[in-house]
Chain A
Amino acid sequence: MKVYYKATYTYKFIRMFFQEFENIISTLGNVIMYGIELVKGLKNKPTTLKELMVQCARFGISSLPITLSIVGMTSVIVAMQVAGEMVKQGAGNYVGMLVAILMVREEAAIMAGFAIISMIGSSLASEIATMKVTEQIDAIRVLKVNPIHYLFTPRVFAGVLMMPLVVIISSLVGIIGGAIASNVVSGLSYKAYFDSVWFGLKMHDLQVCIIKSFAFGLVISLISCSCGMEARNGAKGVGQATTKAVVWSFVAIVIVDLIFAAACFY
């Protein structure tokens, strides 16, 4: 005779905790394994220039309007908040420096990252997840083509190549947005603003910004593709994979950002 025990809330809570922990470990493991598989396939030129360009256009061009809007508005908000006060306190010469450092070191990369995760990461994950649940990935395998090499390579490379470009353009837009906002809010001259930018911004900041953008592009595209690849159970699975890709990418770029901040500026 089978004896059934009613699970207590404590037991359920502990079980849920360990399931989530297992989920985190397995997702991390999958991302790493797919990354290794991707690198292994590079020697066989697994993608064409045409496909790479298509993905670059998707990653860079289509995301640009939203990214620029977000970064531009953020810089305007920052400038509006601080320019008036700083000019009043006699620190107007530092407004440009503050906005520029904030944009180049942090805001542009992280805001562009969030925008790209929302637009492109989610679309990568749902695209691959849909292919998975409709057996298109199985069809690729049966045709003796490695789906990791075929699908991941152009998408991940597009992410790595386009992210720095998006971040550089966003930084510029952010700095210019800050100049306009400072001028409108506090009457700070453009010359004073850009002198301050020129004085405050160091080559080191730009180098870190570009290297960090490469890392963001890699992390976002690899996690998004990996989460899509792990989808199962139909439409619900596609939704879950997309959510997982977005959440994981958000967390991952914040962690990467923290590592860069700690390693490069302190």
Chain B
Amino acid sequence: MGITVKNLVKSFDKKVILDNISFKVDDGKILSVVGFSGSGKSTVLKLISGLIEKDSGEIITSGGDIAMVFQYSALFDSLNVFDNISFALQERKDLRGKYTRKELEKIVAEKLELVGLSGIEEKFPSELSGGMQKRVSFARAIVTEPKIILYDEPTAGLDPISSTLIEDYIVRLKNETNAASIVVTHQMSTIRRTADSVLMLYNGHAVFEGSPEELCRENTPYTRQFVEATIDGPMKMN
């Protein structure tokens, strides 16, 4: 079932950020949400994850957990990698006490292996590179076997090689978990490598919806400007 969003509206201080946005993401698929900074991309993720309340509209999810990977990883800097990844299993009301220490160690080791970072359980976030922090945050996100994974600019601030690695892991996690995923990004490379479909936002409106190939092929002023990354076009920086 994935995620179905219907007529979503959200305003901050009377400024409309999202105006009647609708889209659908099936299980095992990735939707890329693209657009200018401030176009409401991250707001979409925060609304789906329940961090903020919508003004109106519907968000229907397939049940189960929703995981989110934050732009700057948002790892708990006072906890080591083991405690970061097992945080939900140790602290969540419905999961607390359910796992023994041995079971937690096994789960964390499995998740770390999945993101290619075995053996770093004792390290603290400050001892890891940006790319490693991002991958640890992936491991933390999937520890409760979520049905929906939300990525907020997962390749922001990373070098091209680390970005490619992260993009590969996004696809890998989708295949492993069969979760419906939404990736907010600015980068065409991320869209090309990960997305099954693309939603472009501008001034709170959806100005394009289709596949990555259609995004590159379509000749509307919005898509051309975004793909060619030109200043001239209908989309103006605020």
Contact = CB atoms under 8 A, between A and B. Distances in A.
A144 interface: yes
Contacts of B140: 139, 143
B115 interface: no
A134 B74 contact: yes
B14 interface: no
Interface in A102-154: 131, 134-136, 138-146, 150
B74 A138 contact: yes
Nearest to A131: B76
B91 A135 contact: no
A70 to B, nearest CB: 28
Contacts of B180: none
A142 B91 contact: no
Interface string B18-53: 000000000000000000000000000010011100
Given A144-B65, A145-B87, A139 B93 contact: no
A89 interface: no
A44 B70 CA distance: 28
B92 A143 contact: yes
Given A143-B87, A143-B88, A144-B65, A138 B51 contact: yes
B77 interface: yes
Contact of B92 (A131, A138, A139, A144): A144
Nearest to B49: A142
Contacts of B92: 143-145
B157 to A, nearest CB: 14
Most A C-beta atoms less than 10 A away, residue of B51, B66, B91, B92: B91
Contact of B77 (A136, A142, A143, A146): A136
Interface residues of B, number: 23
Contacts of B65: 144
B91 A150 contact: yes
B71 interface: yes
B93 A142 contact: no
A143 B150 CA distance: 12
Given A144-B65, A145-B87, A134 B51 contact: no
Most B C-beta atoms less than 10 A away, residue of A44, A131, A134, A146: A134
Contacts of A135: 70-72, 74
B87 A136 contact: no
B9 interface: no
B67 interface: yes
Contacts of B70: 135, 138-139
A163 to B, nearest CB: 23
Interface in B47-68: 49-51, 65-68
A144 B49 CA distance: 10
B72 A139 contact: no
B13 to A, nearest CB: 13
Given A141-B51, A142-B51, A136 B91 contact: no
In the A-B complex, the 4 residue pairs with the closest CB atoms: A135-B74, A139-B74, A143-B88, A142-B68
Interface of B: 46, 49-51, 65-68, 70-72, 74-77, 87-88, 91-94, 140, 144
Given A140-B87, A141-B51, 15 more contacts: A131-B76, A134-B72, A134-B74, A136-B77, A138-B68, A139-B74, A139-B75, A141-B50, A142-B66, A142-B67, A143-B87, A143-B92, A143-B140, A144-B88, A145-B87
